[in-house]
Amino acid sequence: MTNKRVLLVGFYNEKALGVRYLANAIEKHGYEPHVLFFKGFNSIEPSKATEKELEMLRELIKEIKPCFIGLSVMSSLYLETIYLVNKTIKEHFDIPVAWGGVFATLMPEKAIKECDFVMRGEGEKTIVELLDALQNGESYETIQNLAYLNAQGEYICNEIRPLEQDIDLYGYPAIGAENMYLIHGDKIHRGDPQLKSFTYELNASRGCPFSCSYCSAINLRRLYKGKGRYVRFRTVESVMDELNEAKRKIPKLRVIHFWDEIFSDEEGWVEEFARRYKKEIGIPFRIWGHPMKVDKKIITHLVDAGLHQIVVGIQSGSPTVRKDTFHRPETQEQIIASSHILSECKVPKVYYDFMIRHPFENQEQLKETFYLCLELAHPFSLNIHGLNFLPATDIVQMAIDQGYHTKEELDSMMFSSIQEQYDQYWGPNVYHKITADNLWVALIYLTQFPQIREEVLRLAKEVEAGRGQKEVLKLKDKMERKTKISEYINKAKLVLKIK
């Protein structure tokens, strides 16, 4: 077999790092990667694949004629589209299809029902080994991380390989490679969409040290138990090489996003990074943080280097919900102290994430979130959303054990349509239509605005006494409108680089 063309498909994200890393990995081994981003990013109202988009996919496959297709099934939220894509490939072509990504990794038995191979965990080595075996007509039976059905139709799931400790060896994701495509809005765009972007996204590390029950990180860590250190950092040198290349290739670049689950708080690494970033890159950057990883010295270095935004997960103001339900170890004091550090260090934009209105939380605990928010140091903004049950995460079994949902109910939620799943997270029931029952949500929202603090405290007393409903909702609507306008202005300023 001499056809070495491979099609890798990422979903709902033209920046998807997984397929970009894989493209580089297989290219190094003599394959010709083609990367399709199937549908662009839309975190609020993503639509499923249209018939026209599926037709465009079929045309592209006819044009490329790949010997192998890999689908990156990172999230279960858009399985509806992945099934459609998978089905159309299977119906029209005789090409082996593999699934990889976090969903396929954690639910290989479900995934293998749809495709020929499942590759679990980090895919750089597995995909090369599988492609080589297929090319050479050799056995793939012992390839680590691989799952498949054998000739008898039995499910085989091979052992997980040791984790690569030197993640610099993975190189960095393909930027601006020729064979890249985006199918979105019934159109096909050729070339890497990243080149026209204002932002660049990257990972300086892999893995998260925490164990939140609603997140896949702990399940991935368990999968890799005994296979080497799970949280690994790239060298500053490797990160800078990638950023310098991104800066050279992306003319409109204005913001860098680090997509590390939690940005490094390792002092030596951060010092070196900050010094070099400021000198060589000098573009505002954004990170994700954790209250237990907010350290004054570290944040000072990062702000000096250009830290422009940090998003910190708090998730609940109730210590009980946080500890017993979400398995988050941080205390109220640590959360409040971290907010003071971020404020003193003058991080320009601080966001706190909260997950509210889920079956594990009662109204008293919702109030605790309100009172915790009152103690957070300004300025900050809040991301308030619901709880999305994700397949294979610990919180799913907890909801069953504690009698909040049956397994069947959870399955129908977790495997529902794209729109229904996004609605559980961002949707109308969580936040947008605040009813009299959940005035506390509106009050939580209002804690972001220090200028109306006294008014909010007064209204909280009114609500405690069963009054003030209209006033709270009116104020919330007013502040929401104002915030939207100032967010648009800030975005425009950033893009236009006006200070």
Residue 363 binding target from ligand SF4, ligand B12, none, CB below 5 to 8 Å by type: none
CB of 389 to ligand B12, least distance (A): 9
Q: How far is the CB of 18 from ligand SF4 (least distance, A)?
A: 16
Which residues touch 211 (CB under 8 Å, ≥6 apart)?
Answer: 217, 218, 221, 327
**Helix, strand, or coil here: 97?**
strand
Output the smallest distance, CB 21 to ligand B12, in A.
4
d(CA 314, CA 290): 8
Q: Of these, 80, 260, 261, 394, which contacts ligand SF4 (CB under 6 A)?
A: 261
Query: Which DSSP letter does residue 181 get?
Result: E
Instruction: State which residue, 110 or 254, has the beta carbon closest to ligand B12.
Output: 110
CA 434 to chain CA mean position, Å: 27
Residue 389 Cα to chain centre, angstroms: 15
CA distance 282 to 277: 6
**Could you give the 3-state DSSP secondary structure of residue 112?**
coil
Q: Say how far apart CA 65 and CA 103 lie, in whole Å.
A: 27
Options 290, 301, 358, 385; binder of ligand SF4; rule CB under 6 A: 290
Q: Could you count the other beta carbons within 10 Å of the beta carbon of residue 461?
A: 10
Binding site for ligand B12 (CB under 6 A): 12-13, 16-18, 21-22, 41, 43, 70-72, 74-77, 98, 100-103, 119, 122-124, 126-127, 203, 215-217, 220, 259, 261, 388, 390-391, 425
C-beta of 217 vs 302, nearer to ligand SF4: 217
| Contact set for ligand SF4, span 299-338 (CB under 6 A) | 313
The yes or no reply on residue 265 touching ligand SF4 (CB under 6 A) is no
CB count in 10 Å sphere of residue 390 = 20
Cβ closer to ligand SF4: 254 or 323? 323
Q: Tell which residue, 300, 325, 322, 320, has the closest CA to residue 310.
A: 300
Q: What is the closest distance, in whole angstroms, from the C-beta atom of residue 436 to ligand B12 in the complex? A: 27
The listed partner (ligand SF4, ligand B12, none) that binds 425, CB under 5 to 8 Å by sort, is ligand B12
Q: Which of residues 174-213 bind ligand SF4 (CB under 6 A)?
A: 208, 210-212
**In this structure, what token pair is assigned to residue 290?**
């954790």
- Maximum pairwise Cα distance, the chain: 76
Q: Which residues would be at the binding site for ligand SF4 (CB under 6 A)?
A: 208, 210-212, 215, 217, 261-262, 290, 313
